[in-house]
Amino acid sequence: MAEILRSLGLSEVRYQENYREEWRLGEVAFDFDTWPDLPTFVEIEGPDEASVRQAAALLELDYSEARFGSVDEIYKSEAGRDILAEPTLLFADGDKNSPARTRDGDRPTPVTVEGY
């Protein structure tokens, strides 16, 4: 795909690795996102605020601690990094084998909820 885009005159701005595991309950999506150097977090998306609040409650998450925005904002607040200024964002070789799971296979504790 990269070759096709280059042949059309586009140039690559950045390359970012991440893993996503998506689960659904009705119209609500629970996306477990794993990015380099961040703890795995859950993004909850639904058709309206009420459905997102209800979904967060199902996971026993405190909606008052929810954060809204894109992953670059999470990097700024959690790691002090501006990933939009970095040309590559990669997992360390050992981290590539365990997306969205801890070493013992259990799910990590979700730390972030994104909205509708």
Query: Alpha helix locations (H) across 19-111?
Result: 49-58, 71-79
Share of the chain above pLDDT 70, in %: 80
Question: Is the pTM value of this prediction over 0.75?
Answer: no
Q: pLDDT band at 68, cuts 50/70/90?
A: confident
- Residue-level pLDDT at 35: 95
What single-letter amino acid sits at 11?
S
- At 31-64, the pLDDT tens digits run 999 999 999 999 999 999 999 999 999 999 999 8
- Residue-level pLDDT at 94: 59
| Measured distance CA(67)–CA(64) in Å, rounded | 9
